[in-house]
Amino acid sequence: MSRSELEAFWMPFTSNRQFKSKPRLLSKASGMHYWTPDGRQVLDAVAGLWCVNAGHGRREITQAVASQLETMDYAPPFQMGHPPAFELANQIVKITPPELDHVFFTNSGSESVDTALKIALAYHRARGEATRTRLIGRERGYHGVGFGGISVGGILPNRKMWSNSLLPSVDHLAHTHDLGKNAFTRGQPEHGANLAEELERLVTLHDASTIAAIIIEPIAGSTGVLIPPKGYLKRIREICDRHGILLIFDEVITGFGRTGSPFAAQEFGVTPDLLTLAKGLTNGCIPMGAVVARKSVYEAFMQGPDNAIELFHGYTYSAHPAACAAGLATLGIYEREGLLTRAKSMAKTWEDAAHSLRGLPHVIDVRNYGLILGLELESIAGKPGARAFEVYTKCFERGLLIRQTADIIALSPPLIVEPAQIDQIFSTLRDVLKSL
Ligand SMILES: Cc1ncc(COP(=O)(O)O)c(C=O)c1O
């Protein structure tokens, strides 16, 4: 495509001018691979964007979507329903922790986050605790790009431009990343559970009666893969329980098998009150998100006259029929192919391959969990992100799609990845790192 043909599309989270002068285009996908328009094969080490968990081009999903669109293209979700929406909600609550059993559909992770925050605030109000309006996030957290999500999020460039327009009454806990103590940890780091006590400190500062909820990514992804220290999430849960604070797990990337369990909640043995989902829910092929709530949260709203709308919230495309068909087909594949737990059986191979990068030039940390990798590189003085961007572009030239955030490489391959492809991922990375 010519430069002028690339102009009209204002690309998201992209250096538009750099991209448009040297575009990287994809035009076809199947299994573990993409192809560029000139026919080059590219191994996908990031499942698109943490979403194509069952691999690309799954016919069961495309056929289910096509057949649904031919049968009924759209149905209004307000005061009306259609069977696949209820079926998908039922299938989702079969794999979430049993306490989480009501599903509210959205169209993205950002919408799921804003929905969960709104539900949390409204829940306390519905129960007569309207003073609970404070929300707590974490430094380096990523919760999408809605005003709610960037307010509780903790990534500077995502907040800076809008700093005067963020939600009021938001605090942040410190992040748990500590290279001094935890560099090159395999799995969960030993140090940092004590950082959960910061939540207790905020309760002492503001009083529990003012705090509605805390939102946490069990494994922070977009900020560069921060794995929770041993015991950290349990301590957060205990403090929430002690003070009546709702715990929201943002599982937009950790959901659907990424950690080796269906959800990080099960993997780490900590059940939140609200769970946000998206991405892997439809294998990335149709936009869809969801918030899964505890029964007690749902029931708090079920009061007043029977004909009253209990929650004034929803989207034109909540539970869109095509997305529901995609979700049902996707969950079917996950179940038949054992993909929600496959990361557990691949984790050792992944971990060993990942840690073989230790000692290569500029590598200051390798961290991993399930089928996730964070590879942290020493920044070039005065040029944050430049080193990892070079790795990113060189990998792409060599037929490997990775993800870069600042000077961290984050990997999350489709859960169908085979050992030979793991070898290819890490040997390409090794060659590129040596070539810097
Ligand atoms: C943890 C988390 N929450 C929310 C989002 C936002 O999802 P979306 O881009 O679908 O709005 C993301 C996206 O990467 C995410 O990683």
Q: Are residues 39 and 66 in the same domain?
A: no
Same domain, 326 and 395: no
CATH number of the domain residue 36 falls in: 3.90.1150.10
Averaged pLDDT, groups of 10, the chain, 436 residues long: 94 97 97 98 98 98 98 98 98 98 98 98 98 98 98 97 97 98 98 98 98 98 97 98 98 98 98 98 98 98 96 98 99 98 98 98 98 98 96 98 97 98 98 96
CB-based contacts of 8, cutoff 8 Å, min separation 6 = none
The phi, psi pair for 137, rounded to 5°, reads: -120, -160
CA of 288 from ligand 1 middle (Å) equals 11
58 alpha carbon – ligand 1 mean position (Å):
23
Do both 154 and 22 map to the same domain? no
Last residue of a domain, one of 336, 362, 382: 336
Cα 253 to averaged position of ligand 1 atoms, centre (Å): 7
In which domain, by residue range, is 411 found?
Answer: 3-54+338-435
DSSP one-letter code for 237: H
356 in the same domain as 308: no
Using DSSP bridges, classify how beta strands 134-138 and 170-173 pair: parallel, antiparallel or unpaired: parallel
Q: Do residues 236 and 352 share a domain?
A: no
**Residues 87, 175 share a domain:** yes
Both tokens of 353, joined, read 């391959």
Ligand 1, atom nearest to 50 Cα: 14
CATH of the domain at 96: 3.40.640.10
Q: Do 117 and 184 fall within a single domain? A: yes
Tell me, in angstroms, the distance from the centre of ligand 1 to residue 38's CA: 31
| CA 59 / ligand 1 centre spacing (Å) | 26
Q: ∠132-138-143 over CA atoms, to 5°?
A: 90
| Spatial separation of the C-alpha atoms in residues 362 and 389, rounded to whole Å | 13
Residue with the smallest CA separation from ligand 1 atom 7 is 109
The Å distance, Cα 66 to ligand 1 centre, comes to 26
**Of 49, 66, 10, 24, which is closest to residue 389 (Cα–Cα)?**
24
Nearest CA owner, ligand 1 atom 8: 109
Which residue among 13, 50, 110 has the greatest number of ligand 1 atoms within 8 angstroms of its CB, and so is best to mutate? 110
Say whether both 101 and 170 belong to one domain: yes
Domain boundary among 305, 336, 367: 336
For a mutational test of ligand 1's pocket, the pick from 106, 252, 285, i.e. the residue with the most ligand atoms closer than 8 A to its C-beta, is 252
* Closest approach atom of ligand 1 to CA 149: 4
For residues 216 and 233, the answer to whether their CB atoms sit within 8 Å is: yes
Same domain, 329 and 342: no
Report residues whose beta carbon is within 6 angstroms of any ligand 1 atom: 108-110, 113, 142-144, 217, 221-222, 250, 252-253, 278
Among 155, 254, 279, residue to substitute to test ligand 1 (most atoms within 8 Å of Cβ)? 279
Residue given tokens 């998100």 in the structure block: 289
> Looking at ligand 1, which atom is closest to the CA of residue 289?
10
What confidence score (pLDDT) does residue 1 get? 87
Give just the sign of the alpha carbon dihedral 275, 276, 282, 288: positive
**391 and 293 share a domain?**
no
- CA 141 to ligand 1: nearest atom: 1
Strands 363-369, 403-405: pairing is unpaired
Task: State the pLDDT at residue 352.
Answer: 98
Ligand 1 pocket test target in 53, 114, 253, 276 with most atoms within 8 Å of CB: 253
For residue 128, the CA-to-ligand 1 centroid distance in Å is 31
- From 13, 105, 142, 282, the mutation candidate for ligand 1 (largest count of ligand atoms within 8 A of CB) is 142
Provide the domain count of the chain: 2
Regarding whether 118 and 37 lie in a shared domain, the answer is no
Taking the centre of ligand 1 as the mean of its atom positions, its distance from the CA of residue 304, in whole angstroms, is 34
Q: Which of 336, 359, 393 is the last residue of a domain?
A: 336
**Ligand 1: nearest atom to the Cα of 108:** 10
For residues 179 and 145, is the Cβ–Cβ distance under 8 A?
no
Output the CA 136–ligand 1 centroid distance in Å.
17
pTM above 0.95, yes or no: yes
Residue 110 alpha carbon to ligand 1 centre in Å: 6
Pair 235, 354 in one domain:
no
Ligand 1 centre distance from Cα of residue 145 (Å): 8
